[in-house]
Structure 1
């Protein structure tokens, strides 16, 4: 049966995220209090996207926009497409910097589409939203904290009976998909992001990773990732040791030398700093001495941990919310 759609607009606020957190490659993620606001309504025909803030003048303003692409997939899952769409994006999350801008767009699209469908939350529950968003993104480590808020551990289940199969077979199987759990972050953890002017591409960063790594490095990372869960939730004094990584950051360093140099300097000073996602942004989980803050070409921003995740409500964006820096000013 074709779904029924709401006549009024809906809005979602989605947080920036930092994934990996050092040793937790493709698994650990943290939601940050820097937000994109996206509203959508069913239109009589066509599709138009209005973009304010980050990405304005660069991002598509039609069906090619990632929010709309995620909405279209979700509408298909829910039973059919609306007559048209009008979408408004107020973007504060920097594009292509390792702060989850694509995951935020995907989560916004999936949650908006569900909210626009009458009884959409009954047709697509929260666990299904996570699985769908992770499928669209390719991995769950950013979409999980974006949806749930806080500190998340994410994983992907293989479909029953297809363990050891190739990726195409696994995608085609029944069952499986992404899962995640959310943990509270210790109040002493106060993240700072160092955002460079230069951009990065996740695809290029992934291409730099080797097919295999030494067993000793993998074992060391497993221990550090386990310790990081304890450090972030209960023992922040262990964050420096817990954020040591041997699985991905060194391999990616040649592709972002400025990030690698700043990161090395911070860690030499005892700061629990890591590459945020695929970079080039750096995330520090402990305070940065002023003398170790990078200079020109970098913006330092102290951000709280977001605890709510994606939040949906009714109505258009208000005037104040259209200020693209209202939710996170540079320090």
Structure 2
């Protein structure tokens, strides 16, 4: 078993999970990418540098999430490198509900596999996906980060993910607040049980959302109505939920992205008049982006 010479670079897309009613199951890859470059070096040293999101705040040692994910992949492959040099160019904002941790996990696993000659023969795609979901704790973000597009994921005798069609007319606008919310804190606001009527309503909207994203985007507003999690999270992100309310009142299919606080609004093309109008509604101090759906998932450059 040998390591490849020279650096390897992978890019990983941002993701939005839940998409309203599809709590912990639905995910969409977005064309906003982190770029990770690593190489094996002699001497037993670890060198980590970060530019962009997380610069100056994330750890630069073995506790860095990309490094931990790489180590997990090397363990499966059966050989740890003597030393590693890693550089992260992060465009996905942290703690905003856009899948930055899933991008780090998928990026680290794929990067490590690519650094080993014949690594795909030892660490196949299914094993890699299982490890990614295990590290993250749930598969809804790692699935679109790995596969791209629109995915339905869950756990049933192991983690699974199915990629399904996305109508080419679908794009999004993301409204990203200046401050984040940790996923653990957002999950902590959810109740242990919900009314049966809410669960039934959410199941129906989730089924409709799959159809709407596939080839009927005119139904996205109705399909993105959530009954399970967004309202419970309002105390942690009141401005985000107020924006969701405002947009939905105007007929826009708007939801909280993942655990928030980013708001995602579905649109009809990154250069459409609808998108231009949505971008004009960006709150002061927020960052807003028009993004297409990323159909590629993680890529090795």
Deviation at 1:58, TM superposition (A): 1.0
TM-score (norm 1): 0.86
In structure 2, the partner of 1:70 is 69
Q: Answer whether contact 1:266 1:292 (CA < 8 A) is retained.
A: no
Q: Answer whether contact 1:190 1:305 (CA < 8 A) is retained.
A: yes
Counterpart CA distance in 2 for 1:265 and 1:219 is 25
TM-score (norm 2): 0.95
Indicate the RMSD between aligned Cα atoms, in angstroms.
Answer: 1.2
Deviation sequence 1:79-125 (CA, Å, 0-9, x none): 12110100011110001100000000000100011111121101111
Provide structure 2 residue ranges, at least 5 long, that are not aligned to the other structure: 268-273
Counterpart CA distance in 1 for 2:280 and 2:221 is 16
Q: 1:256 aligns with which of 230, 237, 246?
A: 237
Q: 2:249 aligns with which of 268, 271, 283?
A: 268
* Partner SS for 1:93: coil
Q: 1:296 aligns with which of 284, 287, 294?
A: 284
Counterpart CA distance in 1 for 2:138 and 2:281 is 32
Counterpart CA distance in 1 for 2:2 and 2:155 is 32
Deviation at 1:4, TM superposition (A): 2.3
In structure 2, the partner of 1:237 is 218
Counterpart CA distance in 1 for 2:262 and 2:159 is 26
Q: Does 1:306 align with 2:294?
A: yes
In structure 2, the partner of 1:6 is 4
Q: Answer whether contact 1:249 1:275 (CA < 8 A) is retained.
A: yes
Q: Answer whether contact 2:15 2:28 (CA < 8 A) is retained.
A: yes
Deviation sequence 1:148-172 (CA, Å, 0-9, x none): 11011111123xxxxxxxxxxxxxx
Counterpart CA distance in 1 for 2:199 and 2:39 is 47
Q: Does 1:23 align with 2:21?
A: yes
Q: Answer whether contact 2:2 2:117 (CA < 8 A) is retained.
A: yes
In structure 1, the partner of 2:271 is none
Gap change, CA 1:47 and 1:157, over 3 Å in 2: same
Tell me the number of residue pairs that the alignment of Structure 1 and Structure 2 aligns. Answer: 293
Counterpart CA distance in 2 for 1:292 and 1:251 is 28
Deviation at 1:254, TM superposition (A): 1.2
Counterpart CA distance in 1 for 2:280 and 2:241 is 14
Deviation at 1:297, TM superposition (A): 2.0
For residues 124-139 of structure 1, what are the structure 2 equivalents within 5 Å? 124-139=123-138
Deviation sequence 1:185-216 (CA, Å, 0-9, x none): 11111111000101110000111111100000
Q: Answer whether contact 2:149 2:294 (CA < 8 A) is retained.
A: yes
